[in-house]
Chain A
Amino acid sequence: MKSIEIHELTKQYGSTRAVDGLSFTVRPGRVTGFLGPNGAGKSTTMRLVLGLDRVTSGTATIGGRRYTSFTHPLREVGALLDPQAAHGSRTARDHLLALAVGNRLPRDRVDRVLEETGIASAARKRIKTFSLGMRQRLGIAAALLGDPAVLMLDEPANGLDPEGIIWIRELMRRLASEGRTVLVSSHLMAETAATADHLVILGRGRLLADLPMNDFIDAHSRARVRIRTTEPERLRTLLGREGRLLLDAGDTGWTVDGIRAEEVGALAAREGIPLLGLADERASLEQAYLDLTAADTPFASTAPSVRQEA
């Protein structure tokens, strides 16, 4: 199975560096979430991998080869970049048929992916009559057409209904479990948390993080323990001796910052304070992500607002 290899990749548009010395590898068999604020360079990186934009320096390859060197690229890589990137007056079927024929794919692949993405009933309708969600499904159908080992999907959940979001989540999990390489960009943290195993995070064209999802969340979770007890006053005194503050969290009990559950448990057991509930609080992906990108201040101070996604 093939990886996507990004090495020292740089793309300059005029005076703007959209991608700046980026290096990472997207490996097969797992879903890699591709995160970053608008203008961080996610879409640009994907376009550079596909040879749509010319690299300024560095390389972007798939299994060691440039995308432009493939004779039948749709059999190697499936990409969803922009769901609007199809001519509106073609029917969905003709759109896919032209792609299939040009890559020597059998015609029944067209019907297969139309079925798989749930738009078979609209196959003979013009694309301009499609809703955003249907266009998104058509774009995913095009990505799946060549049964590729590598998939790159830019915001695939965009415009999908709740049923569609569950469908795309399960599709990505399945593709990864089949040993394929799956790179998915998203602004939806809950979605990414539910699908990705690994994260690549960009900020202003540079790599901010490249690590497993769990490591990322652990690294950005501040130590905080959530406690339920029948004797808060005794616990408060006990924690006070450790220099910790017991904070009232309302109905859900109490919280203590800067300490881990095993330490609180040991202390309470020694003093014989009954605990009804005790758990480390873990940051959500969203919190961890905002924490990381907010800390990205050297760039934020040089430009006041975030550039729009190109």
Chain B
Amino acid sequence: MSATTALPVRPVLHAEWIKIRSVRASFGSLLSIPLVTVAISLLVGATVGQDEADSLGPDRLSGAFYALNFGQIAAIAFGTTTLAAEFHNGALRTSLTAVPDRTRFFLSKIGVLGFAALLLGQAATFVSFLGGQALMGSQAIGLGDEGALRATVGGGIYLALMALLAAGLTALLRSGVAVLSLLIPFILIVSFIIGDMAGGAAQYLPDRAGQLVLQQDPQGSLGPWAGLAVTALWAVAALAAGWAALRRRDA
């Protein structure tokens, strides 16, 4: 099998898109990425408002992306459910009968998934930022403020990377339930607790590292883009492990 034959081709990418949009759990969680993020941003903007702007913390930039804590759950759910759909009732066998080159199949699926998550992730961060800040009156920051554009673009990339991380883990473990019950508690609890306790090493956790891109002035040794790159490495590692498992195992 030469390298070029395994690359995604347009028909297979199109087929993978049809598969995403035709399963409610996948398509619903994809749409939830911007819906949840924007809804919570508007809610926070409207309720916290100008008077209590400080309650979101001293860093007003990362405060503006508070809703990403929830948007990332939608991104993880999207990555997980899209891959888990293949391990449901042995649907993978039908998929591999249609596209027997497993590398092409995996790259096509990951490509469509990543592109969709990136597109809706960017929509989520831009609309959230602009909409949320519109309610903040005199306390508002704009895209022109220092680090704001970087945080908005980086936040969208972060959402796509979390979807890809979840997708890679699902291909490896072949179970959406396993991945969701691993990643969501990790992000909601473990990372939060370790993050406060362990200091230096904790900034390399996938969620902590990536969220540095949202901060005005990240403390510690990682810069905002370096942090996002660490998250990208986690995602690539998970995808590589998922790809290896898919290639090696009997379907």
Contact = CB atoms under 8 A, between A and B. Distances in A.
Interface of A: 47, 50-54, 67-68, 70, 73-74, 79, 81-82, 84-91, 94-95, 97-99, 101-104, 142
A85 B25 contact: no
A98 B16 CA distance: 7
B15 to A, nearest CB: 3
A209 B251 CA distance: 29
Contact of B11 (A52, A53, A95, A101): A101
Given A84-B90, A87-B88, A89-B23, A94 B97 contact: no
A95 B19 CA distance: 8
Given A67-B100, A85-B89, A102 B94 contact: no
B22 A99 contact: no
Nearest to B12: A102
Contacts of B101: 68
A53 B251 CA distance: 6
Contact of A52 (B1, B22, B91, B251): B251
B91 A87 contact: yes
15 contacts: A51-B96, A68-B101, A85-B90, A85-B91, A85-B94, A87-B88, A88-B89, A91-B22, A94-B18, A95-B22, A98-B19, A98-B98, A99-B98, A103-B98, A142-B94
Contacts of A86: 89, 91, 94
A94 B251 contact: no
Given A79-B97, A103-B11, 12 more contacts: A47-B251, A52-B96, A73-B98, A73-B100, A74-B98, A87-B85, A87-B89, A88-B89, A101-B11, A102-B11, A102-B15, A103-B98
Contacts of B94: 85-86, 95, 99, 142
Interface of B: 1, 11-12, 14-16, 18-19, 22-25, 85, 88-91, 93-94, 96-101, 250-251
Contacts of B98: 73-74, 98-99, 102-103
A82 B19 contact: no
A99 B101 CA distance: 14
A290 B101 CA distance: 40
A89 B25 contact: yes
B100 A51 contact: yes
Contacts of B14: 101-102
Among B12, B91, B94, B101, max chain A CB count under 10 A is at B94
A82 B93 contact: yes
Nearest to B90: A85
Contact of B22 (A68, A94, A103): A94
Given A53-B251, A98-B15, A101-B11, A87 B97 contact: no
Closest 7 CB pairs of A and B: A102-B15, A94-B22, A53-B250, A68-B100, A98-B18, A52-B251, A85-B90
A104 B14 CA distance: 10
A112 to B, nearest CB: 17
Contacts of A67: 100
B155 to A, nearest CB: 30
Nearest to A104: B11
Nearest to B21: A94
B111 to A, nearest CB: 14
B12 A54 contact: no
B22 A90 contact: yes
B249 to A, nearest CB: 9
